[in-house]
Amino acid sequence: MSDSSRNYENFIELRKRDSSFIWTSRKLNPQLAYYQGIPRPTPIFHKQNVLNSPRIQELLDNISKKQNVSKLVLEEKVLSVLDEIGYNKNLKVIRWLGLVLVEICLRMSTGIYVNVDNLLKLKTEMGNCPVIFVPSHRSYADFILMSYLCFTYDIEIPAIAAGMDFHGMWGMGNMLRDTGAFFMRRSYNDDDLYWAVFKQYIYQLVTKGDLPIEFFIEGTRSRSNKSLIPKYGLISMILKAFFFGEVPDIKFVPINISYDRILEESLFAFELLGVPKPKESTSGFFKSLKVIKENFGKIYFHFGQPISAKRFFGDKLERSVHNMGPLHVQEMTEKEKAVIPSLAHTIVHTQQKCGVINVFNLVALILNDNLVNSKELLTVKELIEEVYWLKDVIQKLGAFVYTENIENSVDECFVVHKNLIEVQPNNRIRLVHNNIILDKIHSSKLKAHSLSEKCMTFSVPFVMLQMYINPSLHYFLDVALIVVILKYQQDLDAEELFNKYHFLRSLFSVEFVTILPWVKMEFHNALQYSTVLNLIQLTSANSYILGNNGKLENFLCTMLEPFMLSYYIAVVVLEESPVIIDEETVLVNSQKILEDKINNGNEFVHPYSLNLDSLTNCLNVLVTLGALSKTRSRNKITYEIRRQEIVPIKEKLRNYMSYCCSEDSCIKMKYLKNKL
């Protein structure tokens, strides 16, 4: 990634210099995504085109005959669905919202940064084909700030795919719709007419629209602050227009949005432990505005290089097959469907490469290692020294760390994250623990095991700290897996090492997003990085052994500990369960075992191992690996366990456990309690 792509501009700083009201009231001449002629399409135009499209009209004719329902009644139903789905644009609402956002951002943030060179280059290239913004999704603030950024740089505010959670919020749903949001149901309960109308609406926006389209390929906010496996639904609908030859190209723009501090951090920590997400409501939104009194540090937007569908697919596809008959009766070919996952994963991978690592990500890694490894609590001076060391390591692994001065950035961490870390009178750093009253978080509604107040109080700070470790883990993961393998078997040739690496990488392919065709490439890259960092050496016999970087070696093992433990416990629970078991029971039993280990104090168990994301990811990947078969009925998920597949996985994992979860865990736990 070139240096120019990392030229960041603090665009909120510009608002301190002039009148926000004059700025939001300025004459706008926004850049369009795909301008096809005059007049510009309106929201009403899009709805009418969907209703009158041959696909929808033919569907209505068929339903009318089968169900003996008047076609006019069905058309009214389609218009009602379109009113539920469709976006609107109200410039007055956009301007007033822009004015409010300026004031909120100036209070909450010390800077909102964007790699301005890439953004302006993208702006000059817009206008020839549909442009799709694909940001990472870590906060509800993502889509609001994306629209604010577009308004700032005079790019037409995109049509944004939003969940129905917001649709029912009094006042908020209409405001979001007026600023470009269109709404989609998370499930359509076999309502084929709704599904057909929604797909046709997307097709309409891509082929006849002039706005960029924005959607979150991960489907939902990542509570863990890690990348999630991409969803293929919306990207498939968007690509249909390209596959059918209705547009010359489609440009997907991967965008990484990184936060010094996430607005929903405590909410996410509780969700990861099983506390249900509160229902979105307008009153809840206004209650949440109390956070504007707090300092959330910096926010970073990084626009990656656009991915052209035409160049990406090249000659892999033969689009002329869709010239054989009317388009409205055609569907994507199996070959077209098969290439979509590769593009989706490439977008997520590019989002990761565009990430900005902030100093607190490094601080979180260092504090975690310090807390769980029986070390004396760090002083501020020692922490700064460790940050310098880790910054050098992670940059060698390809990360970009944004800081102008490490000492100042560390000081800022104590201000921004004062709810999580603090400096004691003896100048040593500790986690902040606040007593948690489960009555306030409806313990009876927990998604899995009803964790005790004692366990919650102990675990939440560790889970929150881990959320700031997670954005950096994809840089370390592959070299960490190689280290753990060689700790167990000290001398392996390249083929043997790859086979063991392939097993672990496949097992964690949902936890740390990858697709199996990339694993060989990731392995070879990891060998190179591991050699540069002196983690491994190649012997004269052409086999690999551990190198002489014990400090980093142990650091990497600590990173993997909670994930290895979560997966191992889940597999143990499955091995000891009946052949048929429901998902909730697996989660409950896994959390119960982990909580008992945490509460009895006889051994150290990393509290992040309790998180439901990892336990669920484990179940999903075991389905992919053929160790479980999954059935969903009436909102209940059940699994059939194939023990002949589960047992070997458990045994392989057990081999690595002692190298990730230290054998002196009892001593660690007692020492940790003294420190905290």
Model pLDDT for residues 407-438, shown as the tens digit of each residue: 999 999 999 999 999 999 999 999 998 877 66
Residue 504 is encoded by which pair of tokens? 């672990």
Domain 359-458: give its CATH code.
Answer: 1.10.10
Given CA atoms 132, 119, 260, 95 in this order, what sign does their dihedral have? negative
pTM for this model (two decimals): 0.93
Closest Cα to residue 497, out of 464, 462, 473, 524? Answer: 524
pLDDT at 628: 97
Q: What is the mean pLDDT of residues 72-81?
A: 95
pLDDT at 169: 66
3.30.200, 3.30.2290, 3.40.1130, 2.40.50: CATH of 3-261+296-352: 3.40.1130
pLDDT at 28: 92
pLDDT at 666: 46
Closest Cα to residue 222, out of 460, 509, 510? Answer: 510
Other beta carbons within 10 Å of 616: 19
Strands 492-493 and 536-538: unpaired
Q: What is the mean pLDDT of residues 29-52?
A: 90
Beta-bridge partner residues of 227 = none
pLDDT in tens, 574-602: 999 999 999 999 999 999 999 999 988 77
Q: Decide if 605 contacts 565 (C-beta within 8 A).
A: yes
Q: Does residue 287 carry a pLDDT above 60?
A: no
Q: Among 17-21, 91-95, 451-455, 647-651, whose mean pLDDT is lowest?
A: 17-21
pLDDT at 278: 72
Distance between CA 579 and CA 581 in Å, rounded? 6
Distance between CA 492 and CA 479 in Å, rounded? 15
pLDDT at 439: 60
Looking at the chain, the whole-number percentage of residues with pLDDT higher than 70 is 92
Q: Does residue 324 carry a pLDDT above 80?
A: no
Distance between CA 430 and CA 424 in Å, rounded? 7
Residue 635 region, left (φ>0) first, then alpha (ψ -120 to 50), else beta? Answer: left
pLDDT at 167: 66
**Which comes out higher in pLDDT, residue 657 or 204?**
204
Q: Does residue 68 carry a pLDDT above 60?
A: yes
pLDDT at 442: 60
The one-letter amino acid at 670: K
Residues 6+ apart with CB under 8 A from 77: 193
CA distances to 78, 251, 472 from 143, rounded to whole Å, are 27, 19, 23
Counting every residue, how long is the chain? 676
Radius of gyration of the chain (CA): 26
Which residue shows structure tokens 């390209």? Answer: 242
Provide the 8-state DSSP code for 247.
Answer: S
Domain layout of the chain by residue ranges: 3-261+296-352, 359-458, 473-675
Strand ranges of the sheet holding 492-493, from the earlier edge strand across to the other edge = 492-493, 543-546, 536-538
Q: Decide if 7 contacts 50 (C-beta within 8 A).
A: no
